[in-house]
Amino acid sequence: FKISARKTLLQSELFSGSFQHFTHSSQRHPKLIEMSSSKSYPSIPYKQLIDESETLDNTDKPGQLVLRDGVTFNGYSFGADKAMAGEVVFYTGMVGYPEALTDPSYRGQILVLTFPLVGNYGVPNKDDKDSLNLPAYFESYGVHITGLVISNYSRVHSHWNGFKSLGDWLKENDVPALYGVDTRALTKLIRMEGSLLGKIEFEKKTVEFSNPNERNLVAEVTVKETRIFGKGNNPKILAFDCGIKYNIIRHLVRDCKVQLSVVSFDYDLEKNPELIEYDGVFVSNGPGDPILCGATIQSLKWLMSKTPCVPIFGICLGNQLLALAAGASTYKMKFGNRGMNQPAIDMRTSQCYITPQNHGYAVDTKTLPDGWKTFFLNANDFSNEGIIHQTKPWMSVQFHPEASGGPMDTAFLFKEFIGAVRGDNHRLTLLEPHLFETKMVKKILLLGSGGLSIGQAGEFDYSGSQAIKALKEEGLEVVLINPNIATVQTSKNLGGASPDRTYFLPVKPDVAEEVIKKERPDGIMVSMGGQTALNVGVALHRSGVLEKYNVKVLGTPISSIIATEDREQFAQALNTIGEKMAQSYCAVSIEEGLIAAKKLGFPVLIRAAYALGGLGSGFADNEEEFVTTARKAFSSSNQIIIDQDLRGWKEVEYEVVRDDRDNCITVCNMENFDPLGVHTGDSIVIAPSQTLSNSEYFKLRETAIKVVKHLGIVGECNIQYALNPENEEYCIIEVNARLSRSSALASKATGYPLAYVAAKLALGKDLVSIRNSVTKSTTACFEPSLDYCVVKMPRWDLKKFSRVSTRLGSSMTSVGEVMAIGRNFEEAIQKAVRMVDSSSTGLCGEWSMDPTLSHDDQLKIPTDQRLFAVMASLEEGKSVEYIHNLSKIDKWFLAKLRCLVLMERALQAKPGLHSLDERQLKSLKCAGFSDMQIAKYTKSTELEVRAKRKKLSVFPFVKQIDTLAAEFPAATNYLYMTYNAVESDIVPEKQGIMVLGCGAYCIGSSVEFDWCAVSCVRQLRSVGYKAIVVNFNPETVSTDYDESDRLYFEELSFERVMDIYEWEESGGIVISVGGQIPQNIALPLHTAGANILGTHPDDIDRAEDRDKFSAMLDSIGVDQPEWSSLTSIEEALAFAERVEFPCLVRPSFVLSGAAMAVASTKKELTEFLKNAGEVANDKPVVISKFITNAKEIEFDGVSQEGNIVNYAISEHVENAGVHSGDATLLLPAQKVWVETIRRVKRVASAICRALNISGPFNIQLMARENEIKVIECNLRASRTFPFISKTLDANFISLATKVMLGMPVKPFRISLLDIDYVAVKAPMFSFTRLRGADPTLGVEMASTGEVACFGRDSYEAFLQAMRATNFNLPSKDKEILISFAEEKIRAEFLPWAHELINIGYKFCGTSGTAAYYQEHGIAVKVVNKPYGTTYGDNTFVEGAPMADEYLKNGLVDLVINIPEGTKREDEITSGYLMRRTTVDYGVGLITNVKCAALLVDSLRRQKDSVIRHRPPVCIEEYYGSSYKDAV
């Protein structure tokens, strides 16, 4: 492979993205070759089950769409049982099917809807009338299409306005319809071939082809007699009805207050037989060829010859008719423009509007006579979108300003027309002067987000990396402040998108000021680093720093940011434009807040202003709860917001982009699965929304644009709504005037690079001139059309924490998220469930029930397990209605979940796997059932199901995400797999190298593994290999589609990875850069025939299997703690008695020490072993002696065929017993003896040889008095690889990639003696968000992120790193609270306690601790432990304050509480309450004596004021000789 595959890859042609028509690999899809030759596409058999009696067989009547060229598409009927012929066209709108089907412009056409989920919200009642006595929700008197073709039909609809199902409505109107068609394949065919004649036929019901354009379709849809609306109004307008939409009538009569006379298209205006009075003439939309409307053209010619001039306005067909009357010509377009997102440029102002369109003919601009000009221009295909006369009041547009369906951004044209009719003075339309101002920016300061935490995670590495790429393309110098060393954006020489200088320093106002003072940037960008960067930007503005150094804020002005963050200003801004937010009040004290809460009435929502991810927020049902929650909110902000409780309403959000020319678009709309009350970061989110009607969708969109324009936002922002599920009432929750978590999701969901575009806009570029980076040929001023469904699902790690609350609310608790893509909701949500938990087979009712909640409360109260509680209830037979009433989850979602339950039952009823035929198996796969899931219900194995699938030729197909629903070809390869299709969009890459990503961020697997994946991919591409990335995390840089040659947004399961490997005919798979998830499937992939690059999977198994690894260490003479493989709890207890407690329990194949625990008693050991057995999932569990007081050492390296190429040795500050991911690391090691290092190297070399390692590896060891013992070995990149690579200026992953490819490598020259600095990596915790969690550290990892800072010594670096984790250094104005459980800890800390006193700090302490230090001459004020616990030397002291109250009153700004050593229940309880209060009120907490000692040493050696004002040093200066000059 290493030679031949490389040659093949280097010689292979770059994939162009072009559509390969009707071709497939015969090896994988033999049936498709047969299908292609006969040009017949099979149907997709999936049908939504709604009844217990239904089976996996689709019994709906089969039908066919037959095209004139002989191609047929098979499907199933859900409309009228009759054959019909017409012209086949596609429509890319994602909502508005009732409006589209009743649009007369579709007369004679078979309509293909590109969005695959149709029928979701049913059809309104045709008898509901508006104030003009027109059907309120339709655009004409009936359905005008001749047939409808869709992919997936929702048999159950859910909407307050849904009167009947779409299928029933079509049957009533005698219109045939097919579902089960690969509409993307059909759309691409129309795109290539142009609009085609076709017919829908059923068995024994056929029809001849007919061309509707040869008929006078307008004559079929026009009024038969004149109708007058708005009698008595002025002015009077005569409208030629060529197929007028009712919403045009509503606009003119209801909004413009005219009297409208609607006449037939052939009304003779010259003769005017009905003597109609008119002041202006309107020409409507309509179907067909405009040439056939000769009578209308003649009337217009006569009208234009009259004096004085009568104003004329035409829409759609009216545009073509006016052009023909003026003397121009028209032509038939290849496939027309039909949808809701066509960008049209107003040639007067250059502003671009998003317009809805439905036409197959266009005006030929070249034929316009003198005096006529192009009015609007299509920004994508540059076709004519309107004409206007230079001197006379005649104009027309090709699009629909009245929309319905679609956006109404151009509705102002009606008012312009009526203004011309009234003779109003013509309003000058002038360009703004600022458009010609050039932003003279050469150097930009970019603020990062810092370490990953709950609410602010890897999405900001993605947005920051995109911004850097955009800025570097413009030739600008970029200076970055970000202490998160694991990120891609802080890397140098990783492609062309690296900052020029990077400061690994805290993102704080004082630090930013010092960097500005030194670097003197022209501009600053604060919108790419989350709330952290935003708050720093606001602080710099308010303090005058930006003005002092003449630094421009790029993008959204600070005043606009403040207007969105300050609730009172925000409310006032909304009131100004007639919009409202949820009723709320601001307060700066608890007393003021209580008054507001009483005005609103309980329950209320309390939120902290300027807070990220709902930090400090919560619901309060009464005054007592209000006071408790408000105090917590005030710990993170000086202002709180008290909001009206709208729980149960829908939550909807839009991502909005605006440039400084006032072009404004919404890129993505999303709907939360959970109703309002759950933070959107903790909710399942669906894109696009599935249960909103056209009216709701575009009403909220219109509001979003109005708000964003009014606020003056430049770039990207997010607006969140609460929508009443019973009507169209809504209110605005908030606007985030920055890139957010939702922005990353929206970017990946749509393929629209929001951060990249926002960065360009911040420089003053306009949306129209920026290109769509997916199609490369269209403008970025457009709104994506999706032809798939996206499900975002949060990932929680709440089980890792004792006492943590699993209830979800307004404060975010999830640590990561996944994004699944499918052609229906069922497929996508099943994928998402497996992505969140790799051990899951799919969505079912297996879950961990909360014993404290009743069955109904499990549904009513949102928790991290509620989705599975819903499934369990459905499996028990509970109705959709019953579950909806308790959970308020929309019935549409619940009906889809019930379908999965019914399919599960139908599958279980089968006698076995052998009884499943091809269609049944395909139907299951279409609904997202995995092979393992099917195996579970058929009592077979995953491999047996896979073999059965292959035998029946049931394979997934590869589809592209192209932003425009196949309307334009895609130039990038952003892919997903689906069974809801009959062909793939692409051909195999062949010999490309697959790189498996890290999956969802969780505790133990975070952005560091994304850095590893990106480094690997960039190295692959730099040496000529095609890189194929597989990952499903929307927060990552690796899932940016231009990072790789192909990106599969897919599961990291054995099944899906093998599907991609076989489809792509890949040359090999890299599994060692994505953390534990890819590692766990290495052996199954190898066994199935995949080529795993790097270390052999058998050797990986030997390292991951605790039993095998421990045995191997024994065999090669490498020391380790005494161990035993667990065969029974009795044997484990006997082992523990022999070696004596404490003992360490270690399951195999787990990440971040999952279920690893130190047991000190028999009871604990029994509980831990049970938990480890569940987590290990039949993998070995090992018990070993736990060594105390040992130093832990990390050995990271790259090995080639068992020989170490490069290595790095890091030192833990904390002793062994704290998980390496939670430890504070020093590099180079500062306190490790030379002999210890020698022995560590010998041990590592022996392990490398024994496992024959080729690639990255990590070994964790413990040392005590030069005695070395091995803890574990990971044959993959570890979380410390970015840290060592950036500290040593040597990319270990790039080196490892070359090794895995079999290339010759040269070791990096690393001399620790020449490194004149120290790096400290510190963990980032999110205990403030984990309600009830005990903030202590142990062998199971708890941190959510990390930072690293550099200094001349470890003390300087440590203090900067602590500040970067948002740890506030103690001030001498307040006290330090100390509480140590064991006397040996008190004694160990004694010298440092004296040091703190010597440098001016004051102590308070719990009674036992205080007594000890008082005996040793240190003044300590006594505070009582919570609840006045009394035992031993901890006596309740009368008159002494309670520790928790002391903390709540803000008298302490550091707590040092070392709980290790005691296992008394009362000690845990009181200590826990004190620690919990500490983090709840934002006070600094240290729970490790080694860290406490290093903090004291650092404070003693580095005065706080000196640290804060020393000139900042960037990493490039540390690397080079200029560092000494800088210092």
Q: At what angle do helices 1354-1364 and 1489-1501 cross, to 10 degrees?
A: 110
- Burial string for 1199-1218 (b: 16+ CB within 10 Å, else e) reads bbebebbbbbbbbbbbbbbb
- Look at phi and psi of residue 370 and say left if phi exceeds 0, alpha if psi is from -120 to 50, else beta: beta
Q: What is the CA radius of gyration of the chain?
A: 34
Contact 655, 685 (CB under 8 A): no
> Which residues have CB under 8 Å from 650's CB, separation 6+?
671, 672, 675, 676, 691, 722, 723, 724, 725, 890
What is the 3-class SS of 749-796, one letter each residue? HHCCCHHHHHHHHHCCCCCCCCECCCCCCCECCCCCECCCEEEEEEEC
Amino acid at 760: K
The Cα–Cα gap between 711 and 576 comes to 11
Give the tokens for residue 998: 């890290």
SS3 of 106, please? helix
The Cα–Cα gap between 1051 and 318 comes to 50
Q: Catalytic: 671?
A: no
> Which residues have CB under 8 Å from 692's CB, separation 6+?
95, 121, 652, 669, 671, 700, 723
Give the tokens for residue 378: 């299509």
| Residue from 144, 251, 359, 400 carrying the catalytic annotation | 400
Q: Catalytic: 1002?
A: no
What is the number of residues in the chain?
Answer: 1527
Give the tokens for residue 597: 């809460």
Contact 934, 913 (CB under 8 A): yes
- Through-space distance between the first and last CA atoms of the chain, rounded to whole angstroms: 51
The Cα–Cα gap between 636 and 609 comes to 9
Place of tokens 């009297």: 259
Contact 1147, 1154 (CB under 8 A): yes
268, 1362, 1364 from 1316: Cα distances, Å: 92, 21, 22
User: Pairing mode, if any, of strands 1267-1274 and 1375-1380?
Assistant: unpaired
> Which residues have CB under 8 Å from 1449's CB, separation 6+?
none
Nearest to 1494 by CA among 1317, 1362, 1383, 1346: 1362
User: Pairing mode, if any, of strands 84-91 and 196-202?
Assistant: antiparallel
The Cα–Cα gap between 962 and 752 comes to 9
The Cα–Cα gap between 1376 and 1402 comes to 6
- Beta strands (DSSP E) in 765-898 are 789-795, 816-822
362, 1472, 1482 from 1487: Cα distances, Å: 73, 11, 15
| Residue from 402, 671, 696, 1467 carrying the catalytic annotation | 402
Amino acid at 337: N
| Residue from 293, 316, 899, 1143 carrying the catalytic annotation | 316
Q: Catalytic: 899?
A: no
* Backbone angles phi and psi of 397, in degrees to 5: -130, 150
183, 689, 691, 698, 1003 from 121: Cα distances, Å: 20, 11, 6, 15, 39
Concatenating the DSSP letter of every residue in 1089-1155 gives T--B-SS-HHHHHHHHSHHHHHHHHHHTT-----EEE-S-HHHHHHHHHHH-S-EEEEESS-STTTT
User: Which residues does the annotation mark as catalytic?
Assistant: 316, 400, 402
